[in-house]
Amino acid sequence: MKNYKKILILLIVCFSQGFLFGQRNNTISLQPGLFVSLYKDEVSSPLTHWVPAIGINLGYQYESDFNIHKVNLSFAMGEARNSISGTVSLSKYLDPESGELIEEEYVRDKLNMNILIDYSYHRKIFERNSYSIYPGVAFNYTFNMQLSDYPTVNSYITLGPSVIQELKFSQRDNIRFSLSLPLLSYIVRPPFAGVDDELLNMVSTNPLKIYKTGQLMTVNKYFSLDLNVEYRHLFFPWLEGSIAFHSRYSYIAEPRPKREFTFDLMPGINFKF
């Protein structure tokens, strides 16, 4: 029994030494923040909308001397607003008994949900002093749905080149700039708004059928540019603080034009192991 206790104590000591002083290649990040979208989608409305939303990003990163693998999952929800947001007229009719004009009004809310999943791989090809360059590839899946008033769906699956530039200020501080440009995309965007019976039926009975309405696009029909800037400070060997800024501009030509600009501001904490 004493031998088992000694072995257990030895394992605990070895694990503790590795956790406190060993090399940490893995990072899990948690980043709540503000997500803002500005868009004009001519499929559903001729108006420009903006969506301020509160969201969260959960990330995992594996980093070695030359390679960076990164996975992110983001979720945000907010209310779309435009120049006529608020109380709008629904209908007007004459009361059959009094003969008075009756006007019914309601608040036209447009609740938006946005889910983003992305994976990227980068490999270091250049390093000089405190500056490094990592070219790579990025895969992105974005799902956006309007949940109220009437349903509309937009979904993008994209693949393209990406590059990371890193600048180290010290052993504890660094900043990374990443830029990606999708070259091949599968866009799911029904050519009608949710007041259409067909889309309402798909949403309520079998939402996956919506993906059959998508089409493959290249940069001449779908253009998107993603920029991400992240500053990190190492507090302890196992804990980092960070603040990240992400923005994206996208343009879809078909079936009707949609232009969108998004930006996210996310402070966070990173656990390294």
Q: What is the DSSP string of 155-191?
A: EEEEEEEEEEEEEESSSSEEEEEEEE--SEEEEE--S
The DSSP call for residue 81 is: B
Residue 20: its pLDDT value, please? 46
In CATH, what is the architecture of 24-82+110-272?
Beta Barrel (2.40)
Contact 223, 259 (CB under 8 A): no
Put simply, whether the predicted model's pTM sits higher than 0.85 gets the answer no
Q: Per-residue confidence at 145, pLDDT binned at 50, 70, 90?
A: confident
Residue 172: its pLDDT value, please? 95
Q: Per-residue confidence at 182, pLDDT binned at 50, 70, 90?
A: very high
CA distance 77 to 51: 9
Query: From residue 16, how far is each of 11, 60, 155, 199, 266 by CA, in Å?
Result: 8, 22, 45, 56, 31
Lowest mean pLDDT among 143-157, 178-192, 196-210, 254-268: 196-210
How many CB atoms are closer than 10 A to CB 32? 12
Residue 16: its pLDDT value, please? 46
Most confidently modeled of 6-20, 92-106, 186-200, 204-218? 204-218
Q: 191-236, pLDDT tens digit by residue?
A: 765 555 566 677 667 767 777 778 899 999 999 999 999 999 999 9
Q: Which tokens hold the place of 40?
A: 């004009």
